[in-house]
Amino acid sequence: MITTIKKVMIFGTFDFFHAGHDFFIKEASKLGDQLIVVISRDRTTKLVKGEFPDNNEKTRLKIIKKHPLVTKAILGDLQDKYAAIKKYRPEVIALGYDQYIFTQQIKPIIIKNKISAEIIRLNPYKPEMYKSSILKKQKNAEEDITKVCNLD
């Protein structure tokens, strides 16, 4: 009897790891047997979001590798954004509710490379609270208050 392992792949920056990221990982892990997480490179994040993440790629990778549901965590390829899909050939590609950069080309890539992958967009977890950009603004506001009030 041949047992096949269903690989799921997700992508993200994962700066300021929070409950929304944890929910994303948990929901994606339910879709298969192995979860491969591709971490956005610092330069890619700068290109997409206009600024570097607060935590560098090695730190973010180390945090994701520690998550108990993650089978494998890797850094994205700087030359080919779809290299991980081509290499690991997942059966499921799970996208976050707000991931649109680079995602429009996934379907043509999997067709061209004869990869049989289902693309699923996952629901958010309290996006009004748990979104990295919101948390970053809150963190910066708290730092500003600390400086102004000399609370250091």
Residue range 126-133: average pLDDT? 57
Provide the pLDDT confidence category of residue 117 given band limits of 50, 70 and 90: very high
Within-domain flag for 149: no
Show the domain range for 115.
Answer: 7-126
Provide the pLDDT confidence category of residue 147 given band limits of 50, 70 and 90: very low
Within-domain flag for 63: yes
Q: List C-alpha distances in Å: 63 to 57, 91, 121.
A: 10, 25, 23
Within-domain flag for 151: no
Within-domain flag for 68: yes
Please give the tally of structural domains in the chain. Answer: 1
Instruction: Determine the Cα–Cα distance for residues 69 and 33; give it in Å rounded to an integer.
Output: 10
What does the mean pLDDT of the chain come to?
84
Proportion of the chain above pLDDT 70, given as a percent: 79
